[in-house]
Amino acid sequence: MKAPPTRKKRKIPRSATPAMWKMASGLLWVLAFLQFGSYFNQDVVLGERYKEMGLLWRIFHLHMLSFVTRMKYYGAWSLTDGACTLSGIGYKGLDPKTGKPNWDRLINIRPMGVEFAQNSHAYLGNWNMNTNHWLRNYMYLRVTPKGKKPGFRASMATFVTSAFWHGFYPGYYLTFVLASFIQNVAKNSRRLLRPFFLTPNGKPLPRKRYYDLATWLITQLTFSFCTAPFILPSIHDSLLVWSRVYFYCPVGVALCSLFLASPGKAWLTKKAKAHAGAKPQLGRSDSTESLRGTTLGVPSEPGREFDEMVDEIMVEVKKRRGSRAGPEGVELRRRVEATLQEKTGGVGKEL
């Protein structure tokens, strides 16, 4: 694959054009925030007029308050991403599919990924991405016992840590603790319901479009409710706004949690397995259900990451040894894998 033209002794391609595009998108988000912020803000949902609106209008205003608040973050992070791109530190190498330069090394937000997310995994995975990477690597995975999959306790510990990192406003803890319950319910509900909208070989049925629409709407309205205390960090204001929409999110989460703890879960699981027949091997799509690259710090292609690490080690070894011969890349990989298998009891084979 031929690299794009660069100046003499320049190690990365020219970055002015992609940086300007990111700057333009950031400025558009900032302008949108300034425009809509006067219509959807804290004063509206805390005012007396808000109580006189119908329930659907109140939910709509709460959602728009969350959306407009996100606009300023979209703007700020897009501008900083553009600055990183312009300086060159945002260069991630060539895209293996298109062969074009990839400038997403330090990207922190994917606005469309958040706004069109159909589940909590996609919503959270596209928001504050670099912080999510750190939380997954140093909290979510570390508090999980060896040999077990992360569960509710790992999610709760991660969200509480995130709340503590943000500060000591009580609203932060309301948001992140509720989010841990939401993520647990969403993950289990998706496993139980999604198979009914797929064929046994994993292909979407015609009715899956309604499932996608419903999950998108539920995801957006759920997180609009959940993040309200983050915008209104005091306990009084947060509970006041929640009460004005009748606590629809905690009520829904509680009902779903009760169902998941009841015999109904086993019954629905049996129905889902009967519908699917043999367990299908589902492929990943480019929709909002699956995220590109890493999700909360885990690489999508660990084998390729390992090969790149071996190549870097080889370069460093040759520099240190000078002209002395050393093992080639394939041989070095074989030796490393053999060592990993001895120390981890075969886990290294997965690489």
Which residues are catalytically annotated?
166
Phi, psi (degrees; rounded to nearest 5) at 101 = -60, 140
Q: What's the CA gap between 137 and 144, in Å, rounded?
A: 11
Q: What is the total residue count of the chain?
A: 351
Residue ranges with strand state E in 53-134: 93-94, 101-102
Beta-bridge partner residues of 298: 295
Q: What is the dihedral of CA 28, 32, 35, 36, to 10 degrees?
A: 180
CA atoms within 13 A on the CB side of 57: 8
Q: What's the CA gap between 108 and 83, in Å, rounded?
A: 13
Beta-bridge partner residues of 310: none
Q: What's the CA gap between 125 and 111, in Å, rounded?
A: 11
| SS3 of residue 144 by DSSP | coil
> Residue 4 region, left (φ>0) first, then alpha (ψ -120 to 50), else beta?
beta
Angle between helices 329-344 and 302-321 (to 10 degrees): 120
Do 38 and 101 meet the contact criterion of CB atoms below 8 Å apart? no
Tokens of 47: 């005012």
Tokens of 144: 């999980």
> Residue 324 region, left (φ>0) first, then alpha (ψ -120 to 50), else beta?
beta
Do 348 and 340 meet the contact criterion of CB atoms below 8 Å apart? yes
Tokens of 301: 């292609």
